[in-house]
Amino acid sequence: MNTDHCPARHAAHDVAVVDDTRPVADPGLEEHVERWTDVNPSAGNRAYRQVLGMLALVPLLSIIFVVIYFAVPRDMEVRFLGWHSNAMHVGLGLTAGLAILLIGLACIHWAKQLMSDVEMVEERHDANSSPEERKEFLAAFQAGADDSALGRRKLIGGALGGALGIIAIPAVVTLADMGPHPGPGTRRATIEKTIWAEGVHLVNDVTYARLKASDLEVGSLVNAEPETLKELEGAHLHIEKAKAAIVIVRMEPDSIKIPDSRRDWQVGGILAYSKICTHVGCPISLWERQTHHLLCPCHQSTFDLADSGVVVFGPAARALPQLPIAVDADGYLVAKSDFTVPVGPSYFERDSRDDFKKGDN
């Protein structure tokens, strides 16, 4: 460590000589300019008082903090120019924030105004070791390698490496229980199936009231769920809801395209589609009544519900799955079956050949 106070210009010139090939010779370090607080005692004293003043405010703010913590009612509000917040929350934040900030400002003020500001020069060395050190290292390594007998009994190294590599396999295998293995059977029972089934009533997603076909106005959209969802709770509820959620729309029958294969999937212009976006699975909810488009608020994929849910814009690649529906004897909407294709975002093993494509019939 070669540090010394080196403000004198001529001293630094020694360094500059080395770089004599440069267009302008290194003039060496700038001369040290004394600060106002160095040359004016009253300025120095003022800075001293400022540092002390800032630090003196910290205990004061800390006491106020404690008082606010214990004394301010929990539900008291503060209002200021249309801005309002909880009084205790703002009070604690202001007092603690200012106190901490003042400690920092005091330290920096002290360093900048009162500590020596004479720049120092420290020598730097290349990151690498010296040739001697390298040689010594290699010698030490050689000695160790000789001691290990690896030179004559080479197989130990390979065997040890192999053993260490293989021991990783049991470690990795212990993670195999992190989740069920999505083989074909598991997939059919989970992500490729929902709780929709023949005869399951379509119900309002908040009130769970059954929906009557005659109650739906043309142009309206209703968020719905299967009635059987009511019996579920906790994680089960979430898992099924994340797949079973649907939107029901009623459109003027002559303003929509209904392919022959889906003639009997709808009831007088009432159609039900999966609410889960085929892109990354957001629940789609923005209904453009005039154009019959349904827009996903997450990534703006847009589906044409008047054309079997095909994608008209955005990053989604597949049409929204349609739920075949009918009415029961009392005029309530019921599902005719589960969805015919898996709902939600794509996954590698998904057989997407049977999904509806624009122009299919």
Partner 1 sequence: MARPAEVAKTSPALETSTPEKPAPLGGMGGPLGWADDRLGIAALGKKNLRKVFPDHWSFLLGEIALYSFIVLLLTGIFLTIWFRPSMAEVEYAGSYQLLKGVHMSEAMASTLDISFDVRGGLLVRQIHHWAALLFVAAAMAHLLRVFFTGAFRKPREINWLIGVGLLSLATIAGFTGYSLPDDLLSGTGLRFVDGLIRSIPLIGTWAEFFVFGGEFPGHVVISRLYMAHILLIPGILLGLISAHLALIVYHKHTQYPGPGRTEKNVVGYPLFPVYMAKAGGFFFVVFGVLVLMGGLMQINPIWKYGPYNPAQVTAGSQPDWYMGWVEGAVRIMPGWESHIGSTTWSWNVFLPAVALMGLFFTLLGVWPFVEAWITGDKREHHILDRPRNAATRTALGVAGMTCYAMFWISGGNDILATMFHVSLNAVTYFMRVAVFVAPVIAFIITKRICLSLQRADAEKVLHGSESGIIVRSPEGGYSEAHVPITADEAFSLTQHERAEIAVPTPNLDDRGVKTKGKRVSGLRARLAQWFLGDEIAPPTRAEIEAARHRTPTSPDLPEVEADEQRELADRH
| Token pair in block for residue 268 | 């007088």
Closest distance of CB 127 from partner 1, Å: 4
61 is a site residue for partner 1 (CB under 8 A): no
- 3 state SS of 339: coil
Q: CB within 8 A of 342, min separation 6: which ones? A: 191, 192, 321, 350
Question: Is 53 among the residues that bind partner 1 (CB under 8 A)?
Answer: no
- Mention every residue, 6+ apart, whose C-beta is less than 8 A from residue 261: 360, 361
CA distance 309 to 262: 12
Nearest approach in angstroms of CB 175 to partner 1 is 8
The continuous run of DSSP H or E covering 226 comes out as strand 221-226
The token duo for 269 is: 């212009």
According to CB under 8 A, which one of 59, 161, 180, 199 is a site residue for partner 1? 180
Tell me how far apart the alpha carbons of residues 267 and 218 are, in angstroms, rounded to a whole number. Answer: 12
The verdict on 351 binding partner 1 (CB under 8 A) reads yes
CB of 251 to partner 1, least distance (A): 22
From residue 47, give the alpha-carbon distance in Å to each of 42, 60, 119: 9, 21, 21
**1 lines the binding site for partner 1 (CB under 8 A):** yes
User: What's the gap between Cα 237 and its chain centre?
Assistant: 25
Nearest CB to partner 1, comparing residues 269 and 338: 338
Please, which of residues 86-105 interact with partner 1 by CB under 8 A?
Answer: 86, 88-90, 92-94, 96-105
For residues 291-350, which are near partner 1 according to CB under 8 A?
297-301, 311, 313-318, 345-350
Site for partner 1 in 67-86 (CB under 8 A): 69, 74, 85-86
Q: How far apart are CA 135 and CA 240, in angstroms?
A: 68
Binder among 204, 220, 228, 285 for partner 1 (CB under 8 A): 285
Stretch that binds partner 1, among 112-120, 129-137, 211-219, 325-333 (CB under 8 A): 112-120
CB of 268 to partner 1, least distance (A): 25
Indicate the residue among 114 and 327 with the shorter CB distance to partner 1. 114
Structure tokens at 107: 């330290």
Looking at residues 127 to 166 of the shown chain, list those that interact with partner 1 (rule: CB under 8 A): 127-128
| Residue 230 lies near partner 1 (rule: CB under 8 A) | no
Q: What is the dihedral sign for C-alpha 234, 236, 239, 243? A: negative
The CB-of-159 to partner 1 minimum distance in angstroms stands at 31
Single-letter code of the amino acid located at 26? D
